[in-house]
Structure 1
Amino acid sequence: MRASHRHALAEGAQRVWIGFGGRADRLWLRLLRPGFRHCFAAVEDAQGWTVVEPLSGRLLVARPVLVPGFDLPGFYRRAGLVVLGPFTPGTPHCGWLPALSPYSCVAVCRALLGKGAPFAMTPRGLFRALEKSLDGSEKILDERNFVL
């Protein structure tokens, strides 16, 4: 593993929350289950929060200026979104399969979770797979946690 990956994956360096929402800004999104038409990630590290929002046609990455200790997942829950986590990202996926998967909010969230992220094509599928992995404690995603 390259030095940059080792630094990013240091013990407790990052925690990821995956948020799910139901707004349909595109007509074809109405085919997906209400409440699970979109997903995004909030990544916490020692410097604060990074929000990764895969939008139609572009990727928005923001570092909101928040007070130390701000509960961003709680904020999203109070706003009516479903949030799962925290997850500790696994090792980066270094295969040919991610290159063949289409760009979507689910693909971006799976990439942030790392190699052990469950296979899913829709936000609802990702939600169900991640929900099964949670047992009330922080989960480290690796290839042993999911059987495909």
Structure 2
Amino acid sequence: MTPASKAAHRRVAQAAGQQVWIAFGGVADQPWMRLLRPGFRHCFAALSDEAGWTVIEPLTGRLMVARLPVDAGFDLPGFYRRAGLRVLGPFLPEAPMPHAWPLPRPLSCVGLCQALLGPKAPPAWTPFQLFQALGGREQENNHG
């Protein structure tokens, strides 16, 4: 990607008013996930812009990207909260850092969410660590 195309992508994201929301939840659908904190076994991102919502979710063995057939004004974070997920945001995606080597991140749910947030995303290995690093507070019997 050329510097001009990077700048163009950045301008398009800024002009569209893009925001990132991170949702946390999940059950142990893989045996190794039982090692992770219950309620924080998975995370995924929802991006809002002037045209609507895009969900980006890394699943075992594939990456799912879906443009949702809902109005741009739909309260997707509220929908996820009512479904029992913890949702943080909105976050503004950071501009790429010029002339910097990308940080090595595994293609995991946490690594994908960090990549969407940008180069200054907080360090984390697990969904719960990312939740805490982004300012989330776990509250008893309250998922919002």
Q: Same fold judged by TM-score > 0.5?
A: yes
Matched, 1:119 2:123: yes
Task: Assess if the C-alpha contact under 8 Å between 1:12 and 1:88 holds in 2.
Answer: no
Q: Post-superposition, which runs of at least 4 consecutive aligned residues in structure 1 deviate over 4 A?
A: none
The alpha-carbon deviation at position 22 of structure 1 amounts to 2.8
The alpha-carbon deviation at position 3 of structure 1 amounts to 3.0
Q: 2:14 aligns with which of 2, 10, 15?
A: 10
Deviation digits for residues 93-120 of structure 1 (CA, Å, limit 9, x no counterpart): 564453x322100000000001121011
Matched, 1:107 2:111: yes
Q: 1:47 aligns with which of 45, 51, 70?
A: 51
SS of equivalent residue, structure 1 residue 51:
strand
Identical positions, percent: 60
Unaligned runs of 5+ in 1: 133-148
Matched, 1:58 2:59: no
TM-score between both structures, scaled by the size of structure 1: 0.81
Residue aligning to 1:20: 24
Unaligned runs of 5+ in 2: 137-144
Q: Which has the larger radius of gyration?
A: 2
SS of equivalent residue, structure 2 residue 132:
helix
TM-score between both structures, scaled by the size of structure 2: 0.83
The alpha-carbon deviation at position 87 of structure 1 amounts to 0.5
Q: Give the aligned length.
A: 131
Tell me how far apart the structure 1 counterparts of residues 52 and 61 of structure 2 sit (CA, whole Å). Answer: 27
